[in-house]
Amino acid sequence: MAMLYLASASPRRRELLTQIGVPFLTQVVPIDETPQAGESPATYVERLARAKAAAVLSILPERDGAVVLGSDTAVVLDGRILGKPVDRADALATLAALSAREHQVLTAVALISKTRAAARVVTSTVRFKPLSQTQIEAYWATGEPRDKAGSYGIQGLAAVFVSQMQGSYSAVVGLPLCETAELLAEFAIPCWQ
């Protein structure tokens, strides 16, 4: 069986992959995550997932038996990608913009080996309840939004903001488990090992 490498430093992705019983090693290679001009959010997340996986595959000494999983998540409001906040003001503005609105969360998962590559993009819709300025500031003070796309983590304290969700919860967290399991099966890597 092929050795699986996870091209991500995300603790959430590690937890999700562990949840479905797949052994893996973690290896990260930094890549440029700047969106390209005119690039759609779906194209953006798929490009980054593939690039992360390809970058890791390129540095592995034994590529023959390796499969690399790359993933990327983007929070999208009105067609605009909301990245990780640059500072407090950015996070507060992002959370205020998400208040009482629906937004999309797009997560791509890509698997790459020496001989093949495959990817899937999953779109979920999340609706936030109306948020007060006090709630937004209190959430920022917890520290949780600092390293999260869209300035929130659905699996954490911000779960209380979510009034509705359609799609894949695990994809919103950072890795669509159903689609990941399907891709792993295509590469002869079973779940529940």
The residues that are catalytic are: 72
| H or E segment to which residue 127 belongs | strand 117-128
Q: State CA 121 to chain mean position distance.
A: 10
Alpha carbons 4 and 19: distance in angstroms, whole number: 15
Q: What is the distance between the alpha carbons of residues 118 and 134, in angstroms, rounded to a whole number?
A: 44
The total of other beta-carbon atoms located within 10 Å of residue 157's CB is 15
